[in-house]
Amino acid sequence: MTAVKHAAAPPSAPPRRAPGMGRAFTYLLLIIATLFFLIPVYLVFATALKSPDAITLDTAWHWPAVLNWASFSEAWDKVGGNMLNSLFLAVVATLLSALLGSLNGYALSKWRFRGANTLFALMLFGMFIPYQAVLIPLFQFIKALGLYGSIWGLILAHVVYGIPITTLIFRNFYADVPDALIEAATIDGAGFWQIYGRVIFPISVPGFVVVIIWQFTQVWNEFLFAATLTNTSSQPVTYALSQLAGGQAVSWNLPMAGAILAALPTLIVYIVLGRYFVRGLLAGSVKG
């Protein structure tokens, strides 16, 4: 709970500098840590840019002598359709769950009623459950609705299981909106919907950004539902990538190029809007 508060207002770093020796040591540690985090990136690109016959385990670390960009177009041929599936899925599911979360968060934080907190805690439990514990009935349910193998079944699952986290983020976001604003609007004769439309929704942009980024990343990266609720025509990219990399006799440039493609959208989102990503991360992880 504390962390969420801090995250809501990114604190400015106080001017605190350690003297000489300690500084050098600090940078040394930072460089070692950076190597740990970036070496996989180097290896992915080195492998993706090699031609299949240049990939041997002995020379895995060598940068390719000749760059082979064809891996990417080849990988796109294999997972491009799934990328488009993922894009459609992630955009639709994200927008729907953001809208639902905004309304829920508004109702829960600004129109509190008895038992609202208990209700909310029961709701939140839904985001912690292992989805394995609902997977079989979910599969049957989606099948009974006739949505198995269609992307809409997957969208339904993501919207429903996204309710807890989107509600949580918006509830925390709206908690910082002063109640006096709502009271003033009530005195002016505005009701539930007018207040939402004229007061709450217009100031919700930062909340929407956090929720949209967070949900987009989650839905894009999800694997379990993707593997159970879809068939070949509707499989998202995570499943396609796992199939691409799963075989034993693979030429590794393809899965590596595929991994880069599959990672690119969320990575771009993170690099461009990292600040909001971190807020979602903190809010989505620390409850309250």
Partner 1 sequence: MKGLSKDRLWAMAVLAPSILLIAIFVYSFIARTVYVSLTDWGNDPAQALAIDPIIRWVGFQNYQELFTGFLQGRFRQELVNTLFFTLFFILGCLGLGLGLALILDRNPRGEGLWRTVFLFPMSLSFIVTGTIWRWMLQPQGGVNQAPTLVGAPPSTFGWLSSNDAVLKFDWNALPLITALVVGVVLIVLAVRAAREGQRTRMVVAAACAALLLLWAVFIGPRVKLLAAPELHGFNFAMIGIIIAAVWQMSGYTMALYLAGLRGIPEELREAARVDGANDASMYRHVIFPLLSPITLSAMIILGHISLKIFDLVYAMAGPDNISASVPALNMYLTSFRQNQFALGAAIGTILLILVAFVIVPYLASQFRGEEGHS
Interacting residues with partner 1 between 157 and 186 (CB under 8 A): 157, 160-161, 163-164, 167, 186
> Of 151 and 276, which CB lies nearer to partner 1 in the complex structure?
276
230 interacts with partner 1 by CB under 8 A: no
51 interacts with partner 1 by CB under 8 A: no
* Of positions 21, 53, 66, 128, contacts partner 1 by CB under 8 A: 128
288 interacts with partner 1 by CB under 8 A: yes
Give least dist CB 65 to partner 1, A. 17
Give least dist CB 97 to partner 1, A. 10
> Of 37 and 205, which CB lies nearer to partner 1 in the complex structure?
37
By CB under 8 A, the count of residues binding partner 1 is: 111
* Of positions 71, 217, 230, 234, contacts partner 1 by CB under 8 A: 217
67-106 positions binding partner 1, by CB under 8 A: 100, 103-104, 106
Three-state SS string over the chain comes to: CHHHHHHHCCCCCCCCCCCHHHHHHHHHHHHHHHHHHHHHHHHHHHHHCCCHHHCCCCCCCCCCCCCCCHHHHHHHHHHHHHHHHHHHHHHHHHHHHHHHHHHHHHHHHHCCCCCHHHHHHHHHHHHHCCHHHCHHHHHHHHHHCCCCCCHHHHHHHHHHHHHHHHHHHHHHHHHCCCHHHHHHHHHCCCCHHHHHHHHHHHHCHHHHHHHHHHHHHHHHHCCHHHHHHCCCCCCCHHHHHHHHHHCCCCCCHHHHHHHHHHHHHHHHHHHHHHHHHHHHHHHHHCCC
189 interacts with partner 1 by CB under 8 A: no
251-280 positions binding partner 1, by CB under 8 A: 252, 255-256, 258-259, 262-263, 266-267, 269-271, 274, 277-278
